Structure 1
Amino acid sequence: MTTLPLSTDTAPNRDAGWLSAEKEAVLLAGARKAQRAAAIRVWGLRALIVAIWLGSWEITATFFIDEFFYSKPSLIWGRLVQWFTSGTQFGSVWENIGYTVLEATMGFAIGTVAGIVLGVLLGRSRYMAKVFSPFIKAANAVPRIVLAALFIIWFGFGISSKVATVVVLVFFAVFFNAFTGAREVDGNVVDNARILGASKRKILTSIVLPSATTWILSSLHTAFGFALIGAIVGEYAGAKHGMGMLIANAQGTFDSAGIYAGMIIVTVVALLAESLITALENKLLTWRPSQAQGHTEGI
């Protein structure tokens, strides 16, 4: 009985595999290092721009312009410290932030749901879109910020008038994107689904809504900005609490540092909300990676 010799090719193949894996690990480490270096450069440049801007503002307000009207970073920082340590004359600054965020969030939720529902339904029904088109255009042409004063007359100085202002601002921002997203659905896909026996509800939930998701989510970034604007404007027109009321009071007392301080707080809240919406968008659009990245990278 003849014994066949064992193959000696396994060792070279194994060595080649190890070398390939090691080379890949080195390349990945180099890519991560380059990415970190690029991020450091970007954030370093951003910090430099902010430092130059604040420094020039501080120097200009100290030596060349009247700080009473234009304020300066040191005074604004002092006002922020005062608000967060000692509070405001209208209560804790956290309480006022909470009121504004609550009003913006409630109005944002109501306006978003209404905008998505009506936008998708009218986007899929050309007949109903023609019927309601002039009414929607007329409502969109109304200066909605001015409605804040009318809502105060209707609903009083409480939270209801602020939520109503937010709703009318958010609704149209979401509605038109949802309407366009529903219209952009591939007709061939819908026809094929009907041929296969899909119901209207199945087509709506399985084809139309997923196809319009990118349009809808992209509108949420702008919509929440409108939500904060609506809450601030409503509080500015008349309220007992909220950041808009603090800003209006600062204006009435010629406290320019207080106006800037309120603006900074609202900006931070908006940026935090933007990061949450971006995280939600990336999670919901994992099945469309190119789309999920396209809206967030480079901004």
Structure 2
Amino acid sequence: MPRRVVLRAWQLLLLVFILGVWHLMSRDPGVAFFFGEPLVIAQRIWDWFVVNADIYRHLQVTLAETVLAFGIGTASGLAAGLWLGLSPLASAILDPYIKAANSMPRVILAPIFGMWFGLGIWSKVALAVTLVFFIVFFNVYQGVREVSPTLLDNARMLGASRRQLLRHVYLPSATSWVFSSLHTSVGLAFVGAVVGEYLGSAAGVGYLILQAEGTFDVNTVFAGIVVLTAFALVLDGLVGLVEKRLMRWQPKAGETERL
């Protein structure tokens, strides 16, 4: 526990140092024009949430897009990864198409999704899903393929059915890979939602940032970035809590070394 307190103290000191240097440098008008002023940014965030309280509508839109994309992308990536990981023939047939789709810069799909789904929430969700899906898919696929053949043979010798193998062997093997991908997917879900708002929207934090960029209001741009980063960290923390609850069976690094 003392080590954790010391670690947090050093992290806080580093943050204070960075903000202090930023504040001193921003006293130069030329630096402030390009990098903003920390105190003005903090005041802008305070006005958004407390004084004017006008960010909640935009934040609700962006969070809804992010959560929907995260959930849909994770579920579809998990299902596709399990299916192709357990079906060598289907995997071999679809392999070049999956690689081609993964190699495509998904951002260029945003105008197409705008034509298909309109400028509402679902075009942003569709774009973000394409970013989340492949991260989860490849991790689940690799997790299934990495299952020990010896473990599978022993389970089959004990009479395990295909459904029991899936539940007790394949899924636990893929779970650690899934959660390692989810921490990355949270940020990508936000990226997809905000990029979609950039290309066409009437609400959302990305929309606020875009409007600020049009007037060279760098403080509002940084305020939007800070808000998005804070909520991305909150979602990542929630994923971490779920991971701890579901991965209790997995020994920690220190416990493994003692064993």
Q: Which TM-score bucket, shorter chain as reference?
A: over 0.9
Q: Is 1:71 aligned with 2:29?
A: no
Residues 117-163 of structure 1 deviation map (CA, whole Å, 9 limit, x = unaligned): 11111112222111110000000011012212221122111011011
Task: Tell me the amino acid that sits aligned with residue 55 of structure 1.
Answer: G
CA RMSD of superposed structures (Å): 1.9
Aligned pairs (5 A) from 1:30-49: 35-36=1-2, 38-49=3-14
Aligned pairs (5 A) from 1:94-105: 94-105=56-67
Question: How many residues were matched structurally?
Answer: 256
Deviates more, 1:277-286 or 1:75-84: 75-84
Q: d(CA) in 2 for partners of 1:232 and 1:112? A: 19
Q: Match of 2:80?
A: 118
Q: Is 1:283 aligned with 2:245?
A: yes
Offset of residue 293 of structure 1:
9.4
Q: d(CA) in 2 for partners of 1:198 and 1:48? A: 54
Residues 79-134 of structure 1 deviation map (CA, whole Å, 9 limit, x = unaligned): 1122123437xxx2112111111111111111111111111111122221111100
- Asked which structure has the greater RCO (Cα within 8 Å, sep 6+), the reply is 2
Q: d(CA) in 2 for partners of 1:109 and 1:224? A: 10
Given that 1:285 and 1:292 are in contact with CA atoms closer than 8 Å, whether structure 2 keeps it comes out as no
Q: Match of 2:50?
A: 85
Aligned pairs (5 A) from 1:1-299: 35-36=1-2, 38-63=3-28, 65-87=30-52, 92-290=54-252
Q: Give % identity.
A: 41
Q: Match of 1:13?
A: none
Given that 1:80 and 1:261 are in contact with CA atoms closer than 8 Å, whether structure 2 keeps it comes out as yes
Offset of residue 165 of structure 1:
0.8
Q: d(CA) in 2 for partners of 1:198 and 1:43? A: 47
TM-score between both structures, scaled by the size of structure 2? 0.93
Q: d(CA) in 1 for partners of 2:254 and 2:84? A: 26
Q: d(CA) in 1 for partners of 2:210 and 2:139? A: 33
5+ unaligned residues in a row in structure 2: which ranges?
A: none
Q: d(CA) in 2 for partners of 1:286 and 1:246? A: 41
Offset of residue 237 of structure 1:
1.1
Q: Match of 1:29?
A: none
Offset of residue 197 of structure 1:
3.1
Q: d(CA) in 1 for partners of 2:239 and 2:14? A: 27
5+ unaligned residues in a row in structure 1: which ranges?
A: 1-34, 295-299
* SS of equivalent residue, structure 2 residue 248: coil
Deviates more, 1:216-225 or 1:196-205: 196-205
Q: d(CA) in 2 for partners of 1:95 and 1:291? A: 43
